[in-house]
Amino acid sequence: MSEGLGLADGAVVVAPILEIRGVAKRFDATQALEDVSLSLHAGEIHALLGENGAGKSTLIKIITGVHQPDSGQILLGGQPVTIRSAAEAQRLGVAAIYQEPLLFPDLNVAENIFISHQDRGAVVGWREMFREADKILAELGMTLDVRKPARGLTLAAQQSVEIAKAISLNVRVLIMDEPTASLSAHEVQELFKLVRDLKRQGVAILFVSHRMEEVFEIADKITVFRDGRLISTRTRLEATPQRAIADMVGREIDLTKARTSCAQKDVVLSVADLGRQGVFEGVSFDLHRGEVLGFAGLIGAGRTDVGLALFGIEPATSGRILLGGKPVTVRTARDGMSLGIAYVSEDRRQLGLVLPMSIFANITLPVLRRYLSRLGLVRTGLERRTADTFRDRLAIRTPSVDLEVAKLSGGNQQKVMLSKWLNTNPSVLILDEPTRGVDVGSKAEVHAIIGQLAAEGIGVIVISSDLPEVLVLSDRVLIMREGRQMAILDRAEANEETVMTAAMGQRSTDSIDGRPS
């Protein structure tokens, strides 16, 4: 597959493996794709960029046969094909990781990895399967008990299983829709190593991400979508992040400017030696009014578990929580809510949204009491008005707030979930991966809103695997590793290097202190 290498300088023209010609797709009132043409060559990594709802996932689902295009053609190896199902796509050598991990909770991890393999014979060799699953995860730099059911895996773990599933298939075209959205820099590097291996073997890769630095690190070609149309395709050498963003949103955005601090003196939440047996331990910090405390760490470091414990979904088994100076017990999510703690989950499908319900019903759900008329009926008009406010504020892309959440694009679902919790007026707001799958423009918007909330005096905890985001937002950064608190760094001390050093468990530099004794 040496032809692929010729592509970088554009001198050699080879037939593409996959070619899309004039594809269009409409969902009711939404024109999701319009006249899109794209080609994908062997040994090429092609990135798709675009705002939330621009049509990236729709294109991918058309390629894998989940949706049928209204018009247009797909050619594989020069032959026009009609792909009716994902299984058929896979037989043709095309596999995908979808934006939302879709595992089988009752099947074990290994079986989840191999379920779509069609070449493993009629009899399941469990031992062999466990061994191979271990091996694939090890290549990703991870271990996971592959005999345990996939039920209750963290999102990062789910995504890792999805990645393992896809790379273990023998394919010509591999499509990855935001595979890195909940991974931290370290795991992303492991993934990229594997992706580069596949590229060397001549696999064509289509890759979606909202993280510019990733796209510009790995992609050979970058295609930008806007409103269902293909705006530009450039080689990486021609493209720049500024140009790409301008193509995406039509304006310049600066995501690197740090927020000005507005932390106040009084402590709103004080946590001492918090732990949950076998999951995390020894977490201690004070959160001030108006402060943004970032949580950094690699996946599996236990950041989400701390958030779940503070909100009461998986309560702590040791330590103390003081809210506004008073000791409190948080045993259930209801406790957390009534104490004025809001937790925006990383896992919008399982813990966040009711997918078949409308946008407005999702947003008002936790505080539905506020929307009751004197007769005890829900005032849907008022609900819609609230939802419309958030729709404007967060730029949720939808024809109407009556639409089912399931029909929104991934990033827009994320915005609905944010709206839902912002609407509860909490005193402590815990945001777990608040911008997972959110496009750059809206990300800036979300950051601005977080700043605004802090300025109103809310204590905010931001858990994020996106380190630049943590650094830009936080007054202080708490770093965890393998269930332990490693350090709390002030804004002045926190930078990519000091945070990563602590997250990887090396306490070499003198700048790392603040570790509770």
Partner 1 sequence: MNWLKRRVRPEQIRELSLLVLILAAIVFFGSFIDNYYSFRTFNRIASSVAIITVVAVGQTLVVLTRNIDLSVGSIVGFTAYFVGTLIASHNGINPILAVAIAIALGAALGVVNGVIVAWGKVPAVVVTLGTLAIYRGVLVDLSGAKTVTTDSLPQWLIDLPLVNVAPIGSLDIRALFMLALVIVVAFQIGTTYLSFARRFYAIGSNPEAAQLIGLPIKSVVFLAFVICGALSGLAGFMLLARFGNITVEAGRGLELSVVAAVVVGGVNVFGGSGTVTGAMLGAVMIGTLEQSLFRLGISEFWLDAVLGLLILLAVASDAVILQRLRQLWGGAELKLLAKETDSVSSEQSASPP
Q: State the residues that interact with ligand ATP by CB under 6 A.
A: 27-28, 30, 32, 50, 52-58, 99, 397, 407-412, 437, 439
* Angle at 349 (CA atoms; ends 344, 354), nearest 5 degrees: 90
CA–CA separation, 183 vs 219, rounded Å? 18
Query: Which residue's CB comes closest to ligand ATP?
Result: 411
Instruction: Residue 419: name the closest of 466, 359, 462, 379 by CA.
Output: 359
Give residue 213's identity as a one-letter amino acid code: E
CB of 27 to ligand ATP, least distance (A): 3
CB of 407 to ligand ATP, least distance (A): 4
Residues paired with residue 374 on neighbouring β-strands, in sequence order: none
Closer to ligand ATP by Cβ: residue 27 or 104: 27
Q: Does 189 bind partner 1 (CB under 8 A)?
A: yes
* Angle at 319 (CA atoms; ends 313, 323), nearest 5 degrees: 70
Structure tokens at 139: 């290549």
Q: Are strands 229-235 and 267-276 parallel, antiparallel or unpaired?
A: unpaired
Using CB under 5 A, which residues numbered 78 to 117 contact Mg ion? 99
CA–CA separation, 20 vs 38, rounded Å? 5
Closer to Mg ion by Cβ: residue 99 or 464: 99
Closer to Mg ion by Cβ: residue 399 or 516: 399
Residue 257 DSSP code: P
Give residue 107's identity as a one-letter amino acid code: L
Q: Does 410 bind partner 1 (CB under 8 A)?
A: no
Neighbours of 405 (CB within 10 A): 22
Q: Please pick, from the candidates 121, 127, 326, 375, the single residue that binds partner 1 as defined by CB under 8 A.
A: 121
Q: Does 65 bind partner 1 (CB under 8 A)?
A: yes
Closer to partner 1 by Cβ: residue 165 or 221: 165
The binder of 121, among ligand ATP, Mg ion, partner 1, none, by C-beta within 5 to 8 A per type, is partner 1
Q: Please pick, from the candidates 57, 108, 223, 442, the single residue that binds Mg ion as defined by CB under 5 A.
A: 57
From 51-59, 147-155, 173-181, 416-424, give the range in contact with partner 1 by CB under 8 A. Answer: 147-155
The runs of H, that is alpha helices, within 358-458 are: 359-364, 380-394, 410-422, 440-455
CB of 338 to Mg ion, least distance (A): 35
Residues 6+ apart with CB under 8 A from 153: 103, 109, 144, 161
Interaction site with partner 1 (CB under 8 A): 65-66, 85-90, 98, 102-107, 109, 111, 115-116, 120-124, 126, 138, 141-154, 156-157, 160, 186-187, 189-190, 278, 298-300, 482, 504-506
Where does this chain bind Mg ion (CB under 5 A)?
57, 99, 409-410
